[in-house]
Chain A
Amino acid sequence: MSQVITDLKYAKSHEWARLLPSGLVEIGITDHAQHALGDLVFVDVPEAGRTLEAGAACAVVESVKAASDVYAPIAGTVVECNAELASTPELINQDCYGKGWMIRVKPASASALEGLLSADAYSAVLAAEGG
């Protein structure tokens, strides 16, 4: 069973979002996603300054068996990306909710996170998918 953390928000497409005290939102992929992809070998994250649309592809994660798009769970502007991932993409496999964060985004609106799933709702999605 994949790990789902209670205080995060989730997207159906298997990304998580965490509201930081600074007001920025940290984004990564879920334990289910990293497990399904397998060992990651490359992560392509957007540059700081890029504008993201909710639901649009914003990054690419490549494993030994597949390359997949990561979709922005919320609209906003990229403020920072996790530079560690360029040389150590395996951080996502090891600690997807912590050191494996991908980008920090300034949300386009204060209510940006409201449309996302709670941990329980996301767990239900996983259960329905058989995961």
Chain B
Amino acid sequence: MPFIPHTEADVREMLATIGAKSIEELFDEIPQNLRVQGLAGIPEGLSEMEIGRLMSERARQDGRPLSFLGAGAYEHHIPSAVWAITTRGEYYSAYTPYQAEASQGTLQLIHEYQTMISSLTGMEVSNASLYDGGSAVAEAALMAVRAHRKSKSLRVLVPSTVNPNYRRVAVSTAGNQGLRFETVPYQRETGCIDFAALAAFAGQDIAAMVIQQPNFFGQLEDVDALTDWAHEQGMLVIAAVNPTSLALLKPPGEWGTKGADICVGEGQPLGVPLSSGGPYFGFMTTRMEYVRSMPGRIVGRTVDLEGRHGYTLTLQAREQHIRRGKATSNICTNQGLLMTAATIYMSLIGPAGLAQVAETSMARTHQLVTALGRQRGVRQAFTGPRFHESVLLLDRPAEAVLRELESQGILGGVDLSGDYPELGSAILVCATETKTDGDIERYANALGTALQAVRAA
């Protein structure tokens, strides 16, 4: 059944009014050679019953593995109330509504989201969310170049300790707009940005530097020193952070003497379940000084003629429906539904709850790393403080070991050999509050067995 409200008579009448013979005629201007005649490899449509069956069979193939994956998306407990409330009809929209001010409830929720995220990151203003962590980093880089008062440079430093996926998204989003992303190597012992290598960029005209905390390896960067150094060089500082970690770590607004200038991150840990590639959501906050350069929608609270509180979209003059090609961004739709879930998640667990999630995840990861490190042929790649992830070096190829673990129902970590070949056989592991003593013991034993199996093979 097609969900199209117009009857054939309606369509005929509309076509007759504008003098067109068919709907197809409306697309006349598309040249024949640009038209796709059929989609290769895409089968005919299935009925709802058939597709339901197919999908549940596919889902079964995934099984229910015990996951120690992190690397940007994290398995946290989500109270049932979060999605029970989020999926109420009143909230069920992917975007900010088109008749925004007619939807006061949605605007109030976005305003509360902005308030929570600003407070969590220690910044003054937040937008209504972006697609995901990677696109938020890309938008932040574009914003920094736009907002920089003194430099016209299109260069942005993105250290190799920044999530490689974020770096790829930044290049594909902003590379064609002339931005040049330059990497800075990490220090082999600590897995943190190498200050000695950074010194090579001193005195150069560079718009901004991205600092990820905790970094991709889970290690904690010396964000105060890095922020001050970048500011001394005249760069803006873009902080890329994990929102859960901010319950324990210093917020970017307080990094160094002046604080970071723009803060972004992946919002998924705040109440969004893991799924292959999303949908997740990105967040972005900044200082008032840069608010007009920030992409995306912003909801403000105001009063009406009678002094009653009301909510409204604000600073719209920088947006695409007014500024067109010169808008701050033309690809910055917010992720309304996921942002709604995050707001409800944060409201339900509160600051103390978030701190508990962060502390427990950190403790579980410490326990995991210790347990795995007892296995023969496993050692830690880096020293120094970390949050809830860590890199382990294996004396056998990571891919083979992870495959063995998978056959035992365990997703043992992310293979780093593609993005960081210099580490040799390395995996990034993560444990959150969802993992028990039993889970960790099971993984440690399975890793021992898997390594033995690979050695024997």
- CA–CA, A93 to B318, complex, Å? 20
Question: Is the CB of B1 closer than 8 A to any CB of chain A?
Answer: no
A34 to chain B, nearest CB (A): 15
Question: Is the CB of B36 closer than 8 A to any CB of chain A?
Answer: no
Cross-chain contact B150 with A67 (CB below 8 angstroms): no
Cross-chain contact A47 with B149 (CB below 8 angstroms): yes
Residues in chain B near residue A47, CB distance under 8 A: 149-150
Question: Is the CB of B317 closer than 8 A to any CB of chain A?
Answer: yes
A44 with B292, Cβ < 8 A, contacts A67-B322, A69-B326 known: yes
Question: Is the CB of B323 closer than 8 A to any CB of chain A?
Answer: yes
Q: B200-220 toward A: CB 8 Å interface, digit per residue (1/0)?
A: 000000000000000000000
Residues in chain A near residue B318, CB distance under 8 A: 62, 67
Q: A39-62 toward B: CB 8 Å interface, digit per residue (1/0)?
A: 000101001000000000000001
Cross-chain contact B323 with A67 (CB below 8 angstroms): yes
B144 to chain A, nearest CB (A): 16
The DSSP consensus for interface residues of chain B is helix
Cross-chain contact A66 with B292 (CB below 8 angstroms): no
Residues in chain B near residue A66, CB distance under 8 A: 317, 322
Cross-chain contact A67 with B317 (CB below 8 angstroms): yes
Interface residue total, chain A, C-beta cutoff 8 A: 9
Interface size class of B (residues with CB under 8 A): under 10
Most buried by B among A42, A66, A67, A69: A67
Cross-chain contact B150 with A63 (CB below 8 angstroms): no
Chain B residues 282 to 317 lying within 8 A of chain A, measured CB to CB, are: 292, 317
- CA–CA, A44 to B149, complex, Å? 10
- CA–CA, A42 to B318, complex, Å? 11
A74 to chain B, nearest CB (A): 20
Residues in chain A near residue B322, CB distance under 8 A: 65-67
B11 to chain A, nearest CB (A): 37
- CA–CA, A47 to B150, complex, Å? 7
Cross-chain contact A63 with B317 (CB below 8 angstroms): yes
The chain A residue sitting closest to B149, CB to CB, is: A47
Contact with A42, one of B149, B150, B292, B323 (Cβ below 8 angstroms): B292
Residues in chain A near residue B323, CB distance under 8 A: 67
B312 to chain A, nearest CB (A): 12
Cross-chain contact B317 with A62 (CB below 8 angstroms): yes
- CA–CA, A117 to B250, complex, Å? 57
- CA–CA, A24 to B150, complex, Å? 22
- CA–CA, A69 to B323, complex, Å? 10
Residues in chain B near residue A62, CB distance under 8 A: 292, 317-318
A56 to chain B, nearest CB (A): 13
Q: B240-263 toward A: CB 8 Å interface, digit per residue (1/0)?
A: 000000000000000000000000
- CA–CA, A65 to B317, complex, Å? 7
- CA–CA, A67 to B318, complex, Å? 7
Chain A residues 80 to 95 lying within 8 A of chain B, measured CB to CB, are: none
Residues in chain B near residue A69, CB distance under 8 A: 326
- CA–CA, A66 to B324, complex, Å? 11
- CA–CA, A120 to B318, complex, Å? 35
Chain A residues packing against B (C-beta within 8 Å)? 42, 44, 47, 62-63, 65-67, 69
Closest CB pairs A-B (n = 7): A67-B317, A62-B317, A67-B323, A47-B149, A66-B322, A66-B317, A67-B318
